[in-house]
A = this chain, B = another copy of it.
Amino acid sequence: MTNNTAYAELMAYQRQTEALAKVAERLGWDQETMMPRGGAEQRGEEMAAIEGVLHARRTNPQIAQWLADADAVDEVAAAQLYHIDRAYRRAVKVPGDLAEALARLTSVAQGIWAGARAADKVADFLPTLAEVIALKRQEAACLAEGGDLYDALIDDYEPGATAETLGDMFDRMRPRLVALRAAVLECEAPPALQGHFAQEAQLRLARDLASAFGYDWSRGRIDLAVHPFSSGGGDDSRITTRVVESDPFNCIYSTIHEVGHSSYELAIDPDYALTPLGHGVSMGVHESQSRIYENQIGRGRGFTTWMHGQMVERFGALNVDGPEGFYRAVNRVQPGFIRTEADEVHYNLHIMMRFDLERALIRGDLAVNDLEAAWNDRLLADFGVAVDRPAHGMLQDVHWSVGLFGYFPTYTLGNVYAGCLNKAMRAAVPDLDAALARGDTSAATGWLREAVQRHGGLRQPRATIAAACGFEPDEGPLLDYLEAKFRDLYRL
């Protein structure tokens, strides 16, 4: 076998594996948006079966042979082989029955979480969460080979990151965020947006916002789900949103956030379709796209000026004072329960709390039965608010039910990357706010598409951001941006 033949065979094999992984992801989407409730247990069997197929393919010893024989003739081939090698080495560490058990359990656990959240009953979820954590700890032990369990899980979402480096970064960020929060909360809060905003009109606005951000409807769609998410890639990447009729910002910013994720997937070079390069390269880089769409663009003075006009047109007079009052309402800083609804000042403090709690859960330093108390104590200490119901507390997010431990810190890493990208984008694109004030995001999204999105998994996560920015990423630009924005808003 020539080296080129080995590479071609490996890529053909990989292409089928990627197609099957897309199938599994589409089933997950269906489960959250379309599936009748009674189908949950059967869906668990289906997810376990396809996970079994994927695991068998990913651990096929032939892959090792192909990897040994194949030559990296160029940068793209080298990157493909890097990802395949990494995934193979990961897969062979986890026994097939554990992978299937995790797929089956997390598929069912998601429904149990949704039920417990709707009923506001922590006790309904705890036994299942305990099982999920037990299996994730088993998986982590297989992956860590004696190393730190939590690091092994982080590595799935953010290659190259560790709890130590992330924790150090959080420690550097925390004092400036806490100081900014304190200064802001001493000021009088601007008026919040109030009123009743009908679901149908919000969903129409959500569609128009997605269009404004260039979402490709021929390769996507939007639906309602309990927890907004984006799903899929290549030529089919869908988003979900949710609606609270008293708070249109929930739907608006969930939608823009998920459009950021989906747009990244849809913008990747079509030559990488159904290959390891055909995905967002890490969750941190993924979040950098969703967060810059949502915050640096979507919550900026320019874009909110346009959005104010849209809101007035659709919902009539608002209780805020013109575009500037709307901008201030959008960016109102307020301690709250819900991460996804948090303002930019509080958001990363939510993440730091999750990071500490889940690290303790995985390391075995916190028992599942003590989680609710630990959560509520920490929220009170950090935010000064007492959780009023579990759906506003430890039941608010889907992540842990589906086994996503090590994922939360990538949200703040994404914010840090978004801060860097925003700095570079503003330098590269003059008069961006003037275009955004007309609802024209094309210069911003076009820059991100060229600088970041189209490259998919070609470069390492940090290198992807560094190449886009022209400098090594750190937390500085994000903190500078937050301080400048909120000092201006609150006239500090």
List residues of A whose CB falls within 8 A of some B CB. 15-17, 19-20, 22-23, 26-27, 30, 34-39, 41-43, 45-46, 48-50, 52-53, 216-221, 234-236, 238, 273-274
**Residue picked from A30, A35, A53, A236, most chain B C-beta under 10 Å:** A236
Which of B26, B34, B42, B43 touches A273 (beta carbons < 8 Å)?
A: B42
A6 to chain B, nearest CB (A): 21
Q: How far is the CA of A20 from the CA of B236 in the complex (A)?
A: 21
Known interface pairs A218-B37, A221-B34; A23-B49 also in contact (CB < 8 Å): yes
Asked if B236 and A15 sit within 8 Å, CB to CB, the answer is no
Asked if A20 and B49 sit within 8 Å, CB to CB, the answer is yes
Which of B19, B39, B48 touches A236 (beta carbons < 8 Å)?
A: B39
* Chain B residues with CB below 8 A from A36, complex form: 217-221, 236, 238
Asked if B19 and A23 sit within 8 Å, CB to CB, the answer is no
Which of B39, B52, B217, B234 touches A219 (beta carbons < 8 Å)?
A: B39
Asked if A45 and B15 sit within 8 Å, CB to CB, the answer is yes
Asked if B20 and A53 sit within 8 Å, CB to CB, the answer is yes
Additional 12 contacts, C-beta under 8 A, given A19-B48, A38-B216: A19-B46, A20-B50, A30-B30, A34-B34, A34-B221, A35-B236, A36-B219, A36-B221, A39-B219, A39-B234, A39-B235, A41-B235
Asked if B30 and A235 sit within 8 Å, CB to CB, the answer is no
A165 to chain B, nearest CB (A): 36
Q: How far is the CA of A219 from the CA of B38 in the complex (A)?
A: 5
Q: How far is the CA of A458 from the CA of B238 in the complex (A)?
A: 41
Known interface pairs A15-B45, A53-B20; A38-B235 also in contact (CB < 8 Å): yes
Which of B42, B219, B236 touches A22 (beta carbons < 8 Å)?
A: B42
Q: How far is the CA of A226 from the CA of B4 in the complex (A)?
A: 45
A225 to chain B, nearest CB (A): 13
Q: How far is the CA of A235 from the CA of B50 in the complex (A)?
A: 18
Closest residue of B by beta carbon distance from A35: B236
* Chain B residues with CB below 8 A from A274, complex form: 42, 45
* Chain B residues with CB below 8 A from A41, complex form: 235
A427 to chain B, nearest CB (A): 34
Which of B30, B50, B236 touches A42 (beta carbons < 8 Å)?
A: B236
Q: How far is the CA of A34 from the CA of B236 in the complex (A)?
A: 11
Closest residue of B by beta carbon distance from A33: B34
Closest residue of B by beta carbon distance from A45: B19
* Chain B residues with CB below 8 A from A22, complex form: 42, 46
**Residue picked from A19, A22, A217, A218, most chain B C-beta under 10 Å:** A19
Known interface pairs A235-B39, A235-B41; A46-B30 also in contact (CB < 8 Å): no
**Residue picked from A53, A220, A274, most chain B C-beta under 10 Å:** A53
A289 to chain B, nearest CB (A): 20
A268 to chain B, nearest CB (A): 13
Asked if A236 and B26 sit within 8 Å, CB to CB, the answer is no
* Chain B residues with CB below 8 A from A46, complex form: 19-20, 22-23, 26
Q: How far is the CA of A399 from the CA of B19 in the complex (A)?
A: 25
Q: How far is the CA of A45 from the CA of B38 in the complex (A)?
A: 30
* Chain B residues with CB below 8 A from A34, complex form: 34, 221
Q: How far is the CA of A15 from the CA of B52 in the complex (A)?
A: 13
Asked if A234 and B23 sit within 8 Å, CB to CB, the answer is no
Q: How far is the CA of A219 from the CA of B37 in the complex (A)?
A: 7
Closest residue of B by beta carbon distance from A19: B49
* Chain B residues with CB below 8 A from A27, complex form: 23, 26
Known interface pairs A23-B27, A34-B34, A38-B236; A52-B16 also in contact (CB < 8 Å): yes
